[in-house]
Amino acid sequence: MTKEQDFDLAVTARLYGPGTIETVAGALEDWRGTFQLPRDGEVEIISARPAVAAEADRFRQVSLAIEQAQAIEREVPKIAAAHWNTPWMPFNLFDFAALLLEAIPLIPDRGRFLGVGAGPGSKELIARDVFGLDAHGIEIMDELAAIGRGIGLDIETLDAGAWTGYGGFDCVWFNRAYRDAHLERLLEQRIWDCMAPGAVAICANLEGRPPESWFIVNDSWDNLRRGAWVKPYTGADGAA
């Protein structure tokens, strides 16, 4: 490496002293190969490459994730659903991404994302590989869930209406899991009740909005029946 490159490097380094192997990005204070991190001891440079290469790799990763998600939605086989469930009916991928992008500042880094009625996992793939979230999904139709598991996604075969694990996630996405209006209203209330305070709900085509006490991130309900909301920490619909 040349000294001119040292101020724009993606560096892999091993820390001596407190800490573990970590990635250090940014300028090197000592371009000869070692430098000091406060309270962490001396760092030996294991490898270095221009940051532009890392950025190109990231761009390619995002591009491939989008292509794969589109292919999943395009090629998923037609599988009959129970009459009370909504059949596989994917929400527009880029409209989903726009909602999630708006909510990202409110979700912790590597936050836990849950797709309800995940199908084969196209939205979970975007959440994981484009937005860097710890993505999971639940899907009642095992044939669809198995497609997601086959490409390395965590899609469990579960009935959303009987499950109560929604409180373990920082962001919950769902797009009308039930065709039956009564069952859908019950599911929505279950999710609102179980979600953790401070978690973000991103949803579309439901029977109703989240409770009025929830904070609005995006309210496109009246014209598009979609939006994003945050569960409050206190009040009738949030836990202190």
pLDDT single digits (tens) 177-195? 888 899 999 999 999 999 9
Q: Which of 124, 132, 198 is nearest to 168 (CA)?
A: 198
Q: List pLDDT tens digits, range 202-230.
A: 999 999 989 999 999 999 988 888 999 99
Q: Answer whether residue 167 shows pLDDT above 80.
A: yes
Q: Is the dihedral of CA 20, 21, 27, 28 positive or negative?
A: positive
Q: Answer whether residue 47 shows pLDDT above 50.
A: no
Pairing of strands 154-157, 22-25: unpaired
Q: Which of 221, 165, 155 is nearest to 193 (CA)?
A: 165
CATH architecture of 76-230: 3-Layer(aba) Sandwich (3.40)
Q: Which of 18, 62, 61 is nearest to 42 (CA)?
A: 18
> Cβ distance 96 to 171 under 8 Å?
no
Q: List pLDDT tens digits, range 55-66.
A: 778 888 999 999
Assign 3-class secondary structure to 49-64.
Answer: EEHHHHHHHHHHHHHH
Q: What is the per-residue pLDDT for 159?
A: 93
Q: What is the per-residue pLDDT for 24?
A: 41
Task: Delimit the CATH 3.40.50.150 region(s) of the chain.
Answer: 76-230
Q: 168 falls in which pLDDT band (50, 70, 90)?
A: very high
Residue 132: left if φ>0, alpha if ψ -120 to 50, beta else—which one? Answer: left
Which residue type sits at 238? G
Q: What is the per-residue pLDDT for 230?
A: 98
Q: Answer whether residue 6 shows pLDDT above 90.
A: no
Q: Which residues pair with 217 in a beta bridge?
A: none
